[in-house]
Amino acid sequence: MCSIILRIEDSGIFIGANRDEMLDRPWVGPGAYWPKLRGVIAGLDKTAGGTWMGLNEQGVMAAVLNRHGSLGPAPGKRSRGELPLLALAHPSAEAAVSALSRLEASAYRSFNLVIADCEQAFCLSGLERGMPVVSELGPGTWMITSGEPNEMRLPRIARHLPKFESAAWENWDLLLADNTAPWESALNIPPHNGFGTVSASLMALPKNTSPSWDFAAGPPHEAAFAEVILPF
C-alpha cells in the first residue's frame, strides 16, 4: 500500500507521500511523458504506462492508492494508473472530481484517488461497484492508505498520523523516512517479499505562489529529496 498525507490550511495544501510497490516493477521519476497531456508532470509506471502521482500546470495534484487486498493488476480490469492522468486533464480539483465521480468503479480494482489544488482536496474511493464515493477533506491533517481517510483502526495511520499532525510540514521528510519496526505499521517499508517503499514526494500547493515538488527517487531514508523542475 502507499501513503499520502495532506495538511489543509488557509495558506494552501501541503502533501507528503510514500509510494510502495513491487521492487521489480520498472518506473521513472516525474516528467512530461504524455504528449497529449500538455502541462502534466508525473511519474511513469513503465509496466502499464500510467502514474501514481502527478501535477498539472493549473496546480491540480492527483495520486492513486490501492485499497485493501488489491495489489497488482487483475484480468478484465483497467489500470488504476490512468486515473491520476484523467484527473490531471482538468483545470481544478473540483472539475476533476465532478468528472471522475461519474466513472464506473467496477472497471478498476479498488482504489483511493486523491485530488487536490490550493483550495480543495478530495478522496474518491472506488469499491468495484457503482460510482466512486467522494469525500471532501476539510481543514486539518489527513492520512490515507488502503482504507478511509484518517481510519485509525489501520495500524499505519494510528501510529503515524499523530506525528504528522504535530510536525511542521518542512519536517515531514524525516517522518516519511521512518523505516522502524514493526513492519505492519511501517511508513517507509523495508524490502519484504519483493515489496517495499520505492520513492517519496513532498508537494506544496500554496495559494499565493507557484506549486513545488521535491522527489526522492528511492526509499526516503536513502534517497535525498531533489526539486522537480516544473515547466510552468
Long-range pairs, 153-161, Cβ under 8 A, ≥24: 155/184, 155/185, 156/1, 156/3, 156/185, 156/186, 156/187, 158/185, 159/185, 159/187, 160/3, 160/185, 160/187, 161/5
Full-model pTM: 0.97
The DSSP-derived string for 28-49 is EEEE---TTSTTEEEEEETTTS
pLDDT single digits (tens) 108-145: 999 999 999 999 999 999 999 999 999 999 999 999 99
Domain membership flag for residue 28: yes
- Burial string for 69-78 (b: 16+ CB within 10 Å, else e) reads ebeeeeeeeb
Across 67-94, average pLDDT: 91
Picking from 165, 229, 160, 194, the residue whose alpha carbon sits closest to that of residue 20 is: 194
Binned at pLDDT 50, 70 and 90, residue 210 comes out as: very high
Q: Report the domain count for the chain.
A: 1
Q: Residue length, the chain?
A: 232
% of the chain residues with pLDDT over 70: 99
What is the extent of the structural domain holding 121?
3-227
pLDDT at site 73: 76
> H helices of the chain, where?
82-87, 93-100, 155-166, 172-176
Residue 22: inside a domain: yes
Q: What is the CATH number of the domain that holds 41?
A: 3.60.60.10
DSSP annotation of 227 reads: E
For 68, 93, 143, the CA distances from 183, given in Å and listed in that order, are 16, 34, 18
pLDDT of residue 153: 97
Q: Pick the more confident residue, 169 or 76.
A: 169
Percent of the chain past pLDDT 90, that is, above it, reads 94
In a domain, 128, yes or no: yes
Q: Would residue 232 count as lying in a domain?
A: no
> What pLDDT, in 10s, does the model give residues 23-74?
999 999 999 999 999 999 999 999 999 999 999 999 999 999 999 876 777 7
Note whether 31 and 39 are within 8 A (CB): no
